[in-house]
A and B are shown apart, each in its own frame.
Chain A
Amino acid sequence: MINSLFLINPSGEIFLEKHWKSVVSRSVCDYFLEAKEKALEPEDVPPVIHTPHHYLISIYRDKLFFLSVIQTEVPPLFVIEFLHRVAEMIQDYFGECSETVVKDHMVMVYELLEEMLDNGFPLATESNVLKEMIRPPTILRSVVNTLTGTSNVGDTFPTGQLSTIPWRRAGVRYTNNEAYFDVVEEIDAILDQSGTTVFAEIQGVVEACVKLSGMPDLTLSFMNPRLLDDVSFHPCVRYKLWESERVLSFIPPDGNFTLMTYHVNAQNLVAIPVYVKQSISFFECGSDGRLDVTVGPKQTMGKTVEGVMVTVHLPKTILSINLTATQGSYTYDNGTKLLVWDIGKLNPQKLPNLRGSLSLQAGAPKPEENPSLNIDLNIQQLAISGLKVNRLDMFGEKYKPFKGVKYITKAGKFQVRT
């Protein structure tokens, strides 16, 4: 299975290596670095590289490359999925996943990697189990540790690993018992020039933050579960009950986790919350162009659209821009040709507008295609698909938990072609 792991920063420096079988020389990374040189963007590096003796499977995440070395046949997704788990684990432990964080906690990351795989086969990947073995750092604990000389390694052994519910640790105690669920929906859409929808769908995810004592058994039901077209669950969810009764019944892991992700039936027409009026034109003669973008609310179900942001990758031949925004502010990076217009809240009375002139490099031909606009937005207290949580019941424990559900709609990959 997985032989070795290398962490590589964008400039090509290997700053951590871990081997689960015999040591593989780090020169194997040269093949990867070569491929990386060839690619224009870090995202363009092929995830699977074939070298004479090894296979390199890598992911690019949070500006880091996680590169694993494989010697024999293994499903590539198995490795990719695991690498993402590693990244998530680092994020979970240290709050972010970056080169500095890993370098600061080198030993701990190394220990975690040791626990996660045995002979290249995943052993403990549940964050609840890992946290029982190696406690995550907190400021308080690091102070205590330096004073008393105690360590971060748990002196109790993980019990979750042995039980049939490996995702939850035993003996959880809270003074405030609370369970929060966030229903987050993202609209993926492609709108064409005239504003008609080329493609739109809704993807949703139910994020949970459960801090309940003991072994609670929760049942979450929806008002309209028929909306959900395709779902995937955290392993804790009892699939049989979902199949038969369309309720989510589960013993939750402790803390934050993703309960389910879902896809809303595509036959229902997706409500697009905003419309965009745009015109970007370049004059045939002379090196000049105009840009005029207006954003307005469309189907918002009475809620305000917030955090609206328009991102444009302008053509490479643009020399400079001169724009004015009626609302919000815009930034433009001449190096990457990235124009970001941060609008904020949409006011239906006064529609935000951005207009001005673009000047092209002298002699450069008129760009063939107008750049597409990427829209970002969020709407609080609204699930655009209309999904509603009906109720949450808890069994198995005596206390009354505090329960809360929040709905948010966001723009996912929301693109307007021009």
Chain B
Amino acid sequence: MLESNKDSLKLDAMKRIIALIAKGKNASELFPAVVKNVASKNIELKKLVYVYLVRYAEEQQDLALLSISTFQRALKDPNQLIRASALRVLSSIRVPIIVPIMMLAIKEAASDMSPYVRKTSAHAIQKLYSLDPDQKEHLIEVIDKLLKDKSTLVAGSVVMAFEEVCPDRIDLIHKNYRKLCNLLVDVEEWGQVVIITMLTRYARTQFTSPWKEDGLFEENSETAFYESDEKKTKNGDEKKSYMMDPDHRLLLRNTKPLLQSRNTAVVVSVAQLYWHLAPKHEVGVITKSLVRLLRSHREVQYVVLQNIATMSIQRKGMFEPYMKSFYVRSTDATHIKSLKLEILTSLANEANISTILREFQTYVKSQDKQFAAGTIQAIGRCATNISEVTDTCLQGLVLLLSNRDETVVAESVVVIKKLLQTQPTQHSDIIKHMAKLFDNIAVPMARASILWLMGEYCERVPQIAPDVLRKMAKSFTSEEDIVKLQTVNLAAKLYLTNSKQTKLLTQYILNLGKYDQNYDIRDRTRFIRQLIVPNEKSGALGKYARRILLAPKPAPVLESTYKDRDRYQLGTLSHTINTKASGYLELSDWPAVAPDQSVRNVEVIEPVKEWAPSLGKTGKSKLSKSSDDKFYSDSGEEKEKGSGSSSSDDSSSSSEESSSEAESDEEKSSSQSSEESDKSSSQSEKSSSESDSEQKKTTKKPPQKKTVKPTAKDSDSDENGNVAKETSSSSAEETSSGSESGSDADSHSGTERKKKTKSKAKPKMEVKSTKEVSLLKEVSLLDLDDFTPTPVTRPKMSVLSPSLLGDLEGLSLSNISSTIQVSGPAFVPEKSHDLLHRMTGKGLSAQYQFPRQPCLYQPTMVSVQISLTNTTDHPLEQIHIGDRDPTGLDMHCFNAIECLLPEASVTVSLGVDFNDSTQAANFQLCTKEDQFSVSIQPAVGELFLPATMTEQDFRKEQGKLLGMNESSATITMAAENTTRQPISRQVATVANLGVVPSGQDNIHRFAGKTASSGALVLVTVELRELSAALITINTEKSVMGPMLLRDLKRALAWA
């Protein structure tokens, strides 16, 4: 049929052949006929031929070569899927002759346009390697190339190839480490497993152990991560703090969401990563997820339980709260039952032992006798581990001796024997009891155990032991071998201790043993006879008989079979089978000193810190602008002159008033700013014109800033010089960083100002935190000037140095206003929220408010002001931020306040990156003595920065944000809200948005950007007849839209 012309007939034939293959029948003799069809046009036929080819090519190498040219042709096909499938089949044909062809094809495919083809080539690498290991060097080159690939499709496959071909070439990973960490969430699930396993190994070689210090720092490693610089300088060399490598943290942070994966393999691989890499106190997060997996299929349960068993031995606390999840059901499979039992035993401690024992009582009665026996052993283990309950357990076990089921009784006897051995105290009554039961027990192991006990402790039960021996002598011939052996032992021991009564009996038993069928018993009998019965030949040994037979024996240790499993990496095959599987890669120990971490630095933008590029502008330029207008709204006025854009009509308050303050400010600030600006300027000089490095620099800035410490307070002289220098350098850098807006001048001045504002505000804090006592007066002054909320706009002006101002004037005149600029807040609500009430805070009260200023620490953060007041009559010391919610948000803390005098208050500012969500930021506010958990809950409106734009721009942007990005509602306006002024005020109260000038009287527009991602938020309020109004919100943040809408509705409809 394959020779037929009709495709349908051929197809039918091929299907039959494939069915044969599937059943495992041999269809190789059809090879020539099948190969002819490799070039068929029919896709299904072609696929079937491929399947056949891959299966039999190895056996018919010569004929397989006929098909190669077809694949080579297909490799050049314009369709990526055809290229991929050709490569896939070509590499699957295991014919050594075509190795060069394959090599060539792989190399080409590795630089293919399509990520799918590149993925296939990564698979092909493994196939080629298994076919011809000599190609390793070339293949490593390809792997290296593919590792650099940024596509999520490729990542999993290439790491798989890496693991297979060259798992020891860790150096290839360095440059790609951060990229892999960041891509991880988007990689397909199977790839995730492979990458996580690889990264676990990598991290063990590259980072220092987070486990070394158990003290204070272990608990607060996250704080240490942020504040270690300060702590180091404070504590000097007293304490060598552990600081987690940021890359190490990155890995942990990026894998955590994967615990929520539906793929059990992913969950367990993350769990093992945390187990092997995370600081001890963070491992707890995996517990819940692992317990969840217990609901899954039987096989999954099996593997997960094994892993839990290993973990629970080392860390009881982790699974203790979930103890009940390990309760056994009668429907569980036997191996699941015994694993659960194992875990329950490991979890047992003084507190829960009674619950566990009660549960065990139920299991003992189980119909599954093997399981019941296992339970008894478990009770035995609990008894030895927890000395408090040993007696209870023993009593319980003795009760079990009267059980009707033999296996249970036998097992109890064996366990009791072990327990008695560990505690050779006065348990003679138990031994007596067992002797009584002896007649009823038929299981040989149990009988033997009792006999052994009798012999071992025969001095404690002098009456009974000989009697038992008498009984045994009677039934000796009908006993099992193991019982006979113990009988002989017992006889010997009794002979030594109590020879009067037992001499004859012993003789008799030894005689019986002498002619036993089993040679072991005959041997033992002869040995014992020589040893104990004194005769001429016995010689020296006889003297020591007593010492030989009645030597104190070490107690057996009852411990878990999972005790040493942790030498294998959790979740691996080797761990499951408890032997080293082929291809298992050992997890290395932590290095004592971390290898150079700079190897991981890559000359690319770090994706974590990357802002979502919206509207073709980088976030940075936007933000730099945002800061300038706020602090220097006088330049905003100038802009007004130049371009007519009304950015801040209400910010034109007293510039004179602020000048005095600014002057004093500057004096203080200059000292620190000089140092900082020095650094940044020198850096920017070095910075190349690539925006890449530019970006990187900004990401590096925050930590640098932290290291800056107030050293000299009087170096204000070089302030101007510094600033000038900075201006020139930053202008060069900013223009090159490419804000496409075309407003060079604006961005130029923007950057400069931003830096200045940074340096200005920073010292305010520094001053407070470090010199608070001496500068108390100044602090309060600052409070009045800066932070006392006023219903009008805050003084946001400050005086620039004249030369600079002039400079700016000229530049800002050329400003073109077609861009969207972030402006100062139209309104700052007075409202402050309680963070910590003085009653709950033991005299420390804290309130927070949103000053609606761009955050100084990181552009994506929202700044929050906290005013702390001491209402007690004694000074409070060491006020600082302690533990944060581990799942929490990125925060920039304020420096610790050394001392807050009674009745004094201090205002500090904080930066929180809310990630454009209204999730509360939870953290702990600590004083020297106490810790208070507090949380900051932002309203959605506080997460914006106002923006100004023309009506035209507004419409244009609105046009881009339709569909799912739009949410709207019609409301009835309160009567007083129908004119422009109240509407603007109401909107500004709710959300930090800027007013957009509008041509129509009935339409009011507002614009802003989200702090974290810089996404545009456009609000339109359209007044209709009869005080109805339509509110429309356009934003790409599809969740913030409706939330904001809800708030606005409430505010505007409110009467």
Contact = CB atoms under 8 A, between A and B. Distances in A.
Q: Do A and B come from one complex?
A: yes
Interface of A: 1, 14-19, 21-23, 26, 40-41, 43-44, 46-48, 50, 55, 57-61, 70-78, 80-84, 106-107, 109-111, 114, 118-119, 121-123, 125, 149, 151-153, 155, 157-158, 161-162, 164, 166, 188, 190, 192, 198-199, 201, 203, 217, 219, 229-235, 239-241, 243-245, 247, 249, 258, 261, 263, 313, 315-316, 365-369, 371-372, 374, 393-396, 398, 413, 415, 417
A59 to B, nearest CB: 5
B579 A417 contact: no
B583 to A, nearest CB: 3
Contacts of B919: 243-245
Contacts of B120: 118
A239 B260 contact: yes
B262 A234 contact: yes
B189 to A, nearest CB: 7
Contacts of B916: 244
Interface residues of B, number: 108
Contact of B577 (A17, A55, A199, A232): A55
A58 B618 CA distance: 53
14 contacts: A1-B160, A19-B55, A47-B299, A59-B299, A73-B585, A75-B572, A81-B263, A83-B299, A84-B300, A106-B23, A111-B51, A232-B289, A235-B261, A249-B1038
B263 A73 contact: no
Contacts of A155: 43
A263 B51 CA distance: 44
B265 A73 contact: no
Given A162-B80, A413-B331, A77 B22 contact: no
Contact of A75 (B185, B269, B289, B299): B269
A230 to B, nearest CB: 5
Contacts of A78: 190, 193, 265
B275 to A, nearest CB: 14
Given A77-B300, A162-B114, A50 B577 contact: yes
B573 A48 contact: yes
Interface string B158-197: 0010000000000000000000000001101110010001
A151 B577 CA distance: 45
Given A109-B22, A151-B42, 10 more contacts: A23-B58, A48-B573, A73-B583, A80-B265, A119-B92, A121-B160, A368-B367, A395-B965, A396-B964, A415-B331
A77 B265 contact: yes
Nearest to B288: A230
Contacts of B257: 239-240, 243
A235 B55 contact: no
The B interface is mostly helix, strand or loop, or mixed, namely helix
B284 to A, nearest CB: 13
Contacts of A393: 1042
B292 interface: yes
A121 B123 contact: yes
B334 to A, nearest CB: 5
A239 B266 CA distance: 15
A385 to B, nearest CB: 15
B294 to A, nearest CB: 10
B333 A73 contact: no
Contact of A395 (B15, B405, B887, B964): B964
B297 A80 contact: yes
A415 B260 contact: no
Interface stretch (B322-330, B743-751, B799-807, B1003-1011): B322-330
Given A78-B265, A219-B1038, A107 B22 contact: yes
A232 B1039 contact: no
B707 interface: no
Interface string B708-730: 00000000000000000000000
Contact of A110 (B21, B185, B263): B21
A320 B404 CA distance: 23
B329 A413 contact: yes
Interface string B65-80: 0000000000000011
A365 B404 CA distance: 8
A261 B262 contact: yes
B915 A315 contact: no
A55 B44 CA distance: 34
A75 B193 contact: yes
A198 B581 contact: no
Contacts of B325: 199, 201
Nearest to A125: B190
A101 B42 CA distance: 27
Nearest to B58: A22
Contact of A119 (B127, B918, B965): B127
B582 A230 contact: no
B917 A15 contact: no
Contacts of A14: 24
B699 interface: no
Nearest to A70: B573
B330 A75 contact: no
Contacts of B278: none
A123 B190 CA distance: 9
B576 A61 contact: no
B573 A315 contact: no
B11 interface: yes
Most A-side CB within 10 Å, residue of B197, B262, B366, B405: B262
Given A106-B22, A149-B7, A372-B330, A73 B572 contact: yes
Contacts of B574: 73
A164 B404 contact: no
A73 B11 contact: no
A164 B152 contact: yes
Contact of B1039 (A118, A241, A398): A241
B295 interface: yes
A16 to B, nearest CB: 5
A46 B306 CA distance: 12
Nearest to A217: B964
B44 A153 contact: yes
B585 A239 contact: no
A369 B366 contact: yes
Contacts of B576: 48, 76
Given A149-B7, A395-B965, A247 B1039 contact: yes
A81 B130 contact: no
B18 interface: yes
A55 B573 contact: yes
A143 to B, nearest CB: 15
Contacts of A232: 260-262, 267, 289, 292
B116 A153 contact: no
A151 B327 contact: no
Contacts of A231: 260
B403 interface: yes
Given A48-B576, A258-B262, A153 B43 contact: yes
B515 interface: no
Contacts of A229: 288
A14 B1039 CA distance: 53
Contacts of A58: 299
A188 to B, nearest CB: 8
A233 B257 CA distance: 10
Interface string B1-31: 0000011100100010011011110000000
A163 to B, nearest CB: 10
Most B-side CB within 10 Å, residue of A46, A203, A258, A394: A46
B283 interface: no
B94 interface: yes
B193 A73 contact: no
B251 interface: no
B868 to A, nearest CB: 28
B264 interface: yes
Give the 6 A-B CB pairs with smallest separation, nearest first.
A395-B964, A244-B917, A72-B583, A149-B8, A153-B44, A369-B365
Contacts of A241: 917, 1039
A50 B574 CA distance: 10
B23 A198 contact: no
B916 to A, nearest CB: 8
